[in-house]
Chain A
Amino acid sequence: MTNDESRRDLERRALELLPWYVNGTLEGGDRELVSRQVLGSLTCRKEFERLRRLQQLIQRDDAEAAATGRAFERLMARIESSGDSSASRVRDSGQAYAWTRLTLAASVAAAVSVLLWWSAGAPPTTPRTYETLTRSQPADPGATRLRVVFAPGVTESERVELLASLSLTIVEPPTDDGVVTLLFTDGTDQAAIVAALKRDPRIAFVTSPPVSDGP
């Protein structure tokens, strides 16, 4: 192999490895080879710059409005209903589950607070309100909510299982009085769900008819 061929071969190998040099995962001899070529070859240097910019574009953050808390609750309900024997141990560890939900709720609440503060241009001030079971909800077009109080002694996993079985999601965590605000999934039979809740011994109170926020 002539010097020229050897140089071209090194350049070709460096160009092949460049993406992983750009993302910082190249190690050892590979890394040395590409470093040398980026310094010594105009082609490699140009391609390095292009790939670096491509990486920046790909990594630019997208808004991802996933409701982590609700999705996690659905997953846990699925795990428990799958009959995983180890999940029953989880069911018993109510404290761990409560911690989990609090952590997730706190994360979501913090994110929402930052967004509110950002959009309002000033720190949010929340007026204290007296919570009752039938207090009307803030406007949320298209959403229909209801409020429930779980019976004493109902575990967290039982709540999750019940809500998942009725396609209900928690939109507001329990108040000091234990009132939980729930949201119906679109297209569900709301009257039937309320009736099921009323029959269920795990529910102490339920608003009836459901609070509608729609026009």
Chain B
Amino acid sequence: MKLRSGPRVDPQAPVCDPEAALVVRVAAREQAAFAELYGIYRRRLARFLGRFLASPDTIDEVINDVMFVVWQNAPGFELRSKVSTWIFGIAWRKALKALERQKRGTAPQELPEQIGKPDEAASALENREWLNRGLDRLAPDQRLVVELTFFVGCSYQEIAEIADCPVNTVKTRMFHARHRLRDILVSLDPVERGKGP
């Protein structure tokens, strides 16, 4: 997310959102506030980045890269955005760079077009393996939209801000992601699951 011109964090100004209040304190270089913000976001970022990056070491590295930028840029953060939108935007750009490095380092993975019939996979859904395989088939920008919607709970406007794209692009990516996850979505319908082959 690009920082737009506008009012910057004012340490004296009253802030209602608890996370924004933390960022105001971080901007004033309060380390205790930074530790609290770090504690809040570390787990969320680890799970979010874990959707895109395979290596736990890379995830740790990217989280610290993200929080390093948060520390550095907190004084320039605009309170017009939600803190989560800002931080996940940074995380997404860092994840993209890490993905590029990952791609250069390994051979491209062949992903099957179909991931099994719904009835075959229904039991596997219990441990999420099947869902993860489905999510792995999505292009990174499609997956970003799915994860930010269902895992982080962002509005489509926030996702557009994080992904730095128009709102309609977000909707289109979600449309394609849902299309690719169609077999999973159908199997999540208890009526369809009960029908059998």
Which residues of A does B touch, CB under 8 Å? 16-17, 19-20, 22-27, 46-47, 49-51, 53-55, 57-60, 62, 64, 66, 68, 71-72, 74-76, 78-79, 82, 84, 86-87, 89-90, 93, 96-97, 99-100, 103-104, 107
Q: A19-B174, A54-B150, A71-B64 are in contact. Are A64 and B47 (CB under 8 A)?
A: yes
Contacts of A90 in B (CB 8 A): 29, 31
Q: A20-B155, A57-B125 are in contact. Are A72 and B185 (CB under 8 A)?
A: no
Contacts of B76 in A (CB 8 A): none
Contacts across chains A and B counted by CB atoms under 8 Å: 114
Asked whether, in the complex, the Cβ of A103 is within 8 Å of the Cβ of B35, the reply is: yes
Q: Which of B2-10, B37-45, B92-100 contacts A (4 or more CB under 8 A)?
A: B37-45
Shortest C-beta distance, A179 to chain B (Å), equals: 24
Q: Which residue of A lies closest to B147 (CB)?
A: A58
Asked whether, in the complex, the Cβ of B60 is within 8 Å of the Cβ of A58, the reply is: no
Main secondary structure of the interface of B (DSSP, over half): helix
Some 23 contacts from A to B, beta carbons below 8 A apart, are A19-B149, A25-B158, A46-B189, A46-B191, A50-B185, A54-B150, A54-B181, A54-B184, A58-B146, A59-B150, A60-B128, A62-B47, A62-B50, A66-B42, A68-B42, A71-B63, A72-B42, A78-B68, A82-B68, A90-B29, A100-B32, A104-B35, A104-B39
Main secondary structure of the interface of A (DSSP, over half): helix
